[in-house]
Amino acid sequence: MPPLRELVIEGDFYTMGVQHGQAYADDIRELTAERIQLCTETAWTGRELTRQQVLDLAAECIPHNDAYAPELMQELRGIAHATKLSLEEVLITNGFTDFVDTIYNANALPVHQPAYSHTDCTTFMVSGRTTIEGHSFIGQTWDMHATATPFVILLRGKPNNAPNFLTLTVAGCIGMIGMNDAGIAVGINNLMGADGKPGVMWNLVIRKILMQTNIQDALACIIDAELAGGHNYVLMDADGNGYGIEAMSSVKRVQPLKAEQYAHANRCLYPQTSAVERDLDDSTVDDSDIRRSRALELLTRRPITPDILKSITADRSDGVYSICSMSEPPFYSETCGAAIMRPATREFWAVWGLPNKNAYEAFRL
């Protein structure tokens, strides 16, 4: 892949959205069209909806997001204005995996069990006790349908009256994996909820977290959100305090980082959240469990360094169940990028595309 595209956006939130939309208008319109089409397909959502039904359901989500993060919704409106898309379309592009959960649980039981269930992000955290410098790390692979890879970008945000931030994301999406200049860092991996509902999209949660200056306020951004769908959030501050949060639409489970290493993949680990998870087939369970186990094994190396963490994101030890996921039938999901962050030093390493075939680049706040 070529060097990761970096876009600087600054000013008030609406202006930042306009800047983002103007810079990548064609990309945003292309990705939006694809994601709305996927939302109409039973393979992704279990329900066969028309395009208008999908947009109508997105419209039900708008008041929840406006109430949760009005500034960030202005940013989405700026993107919509610059790209000549509707706010509903831009919201779907941002919250796609949450919105899939919303559709899955809409009105009645799904007509079919969705065929697509392999969304293979692997997240991890390590405490400062594992490093020579005493600084903790947080990172992940970001896996999605392989056609999302060309849209990966890095946003460097300089908002008025809020911390500056970096986020690895895709064109049109206001944030996915990020860190701010207060040393608050956050990542995610998808969970497949059966309890989705019109609600707050996960990308607004990410960016609201990046507006905070302490980890308790950042944690509250997750706990207080009426979520549209399920994700596991990993959260860390500059002092090495960390949390893993399985956050479903109807229930959340918070786990403080106590061990020297933590890893998570794509299924719930606790009874409260498992109770509202979709039924997962054996292959999906194996995929998640094998990646998580491999990550935990590799995280036992000492001392942990950025290069070790980069190698973990590139690991292909387990074939189709590897941490670094290759686009293969029948799901054609792949690792579209990855990020590693050291909040204490505000260092951010990111790679565009497969980590086993592309080089990380270094950024800093």
Helix (H/G/I), strand (E/B), else coil: 68: helix
Average pLDDT along the chain: 96
Please tell me whether residue 215 adopts helix, strand or coil conformation.
helix
User: In the predicted model, what is the mean pLDDT of residues 94-110?
Assistant: 88
* pLDDT of 111 over the 70 cut: no
Cis peptide upstream of residue 303 (ω within 30 degrees of 0)? yes
CB 148 within 8 A of CB 170: yes
Q: How far apart are the first and last CA of the chain?
A: 24
Q: Mean pLDDT over residues 90-102, rounded?
A: 97
Domains of the chain in start order, with CATH, are: 1-365 (3.60.60.10)
Query: pLDDT value at position 118?
Result: 56
Distance CA 87, CA 80 (A): 6
Q: Residue 49: which residues within 8 A CB-CB, separation 6 or more?
A: 39, 40, 57, 103
Query: What is the reported pLDDT for 109?
Result: 57
> How do residues 141-189 score in pLDDT, each as one tens digit?
999 989 999 999 999 999 999 999 999 999 999 999 999 999 999 999 9
Put simply, whether the predicted model's pTM sits higher than 0.95 gets the answer yes
Q: What is the pLDDT of residues 220-263, one digit of tens each?
A: 999 999 999 999 999 999 999 999 999 999 999 999 999 999 99
Residue 360 tokens, joined: 């990380």
| pLDDT band at 107; cut points 50, 70, 90 | confident
What are all long-range contacts of 40-44, with beta carbons under 8 Å and residues at least 24 apart? 42/110, 42/111, 42/112, 42/114, 42/115, 43/114, 43/115, 43/116, 44/100, 44/114, 44/116
Confidence bin at 120 (pLDDT 50/70/90): confident
pLDDT in tens, 192-222: 999 999 999 999 999 999 999 999 999 999 9
Structure confidence at residue 98 (pLDDT): 97
3-state secondary structure of 199: coil
* Spacing of C-alpha 323 from chain mean position: 16
What pLDDT shows up at residue 15? 98
Q: 171 is written with which tokens? A: 């064109």
Rounded to an integer, what is the distance from CA 39 to the centroid of its chain?
A: 18
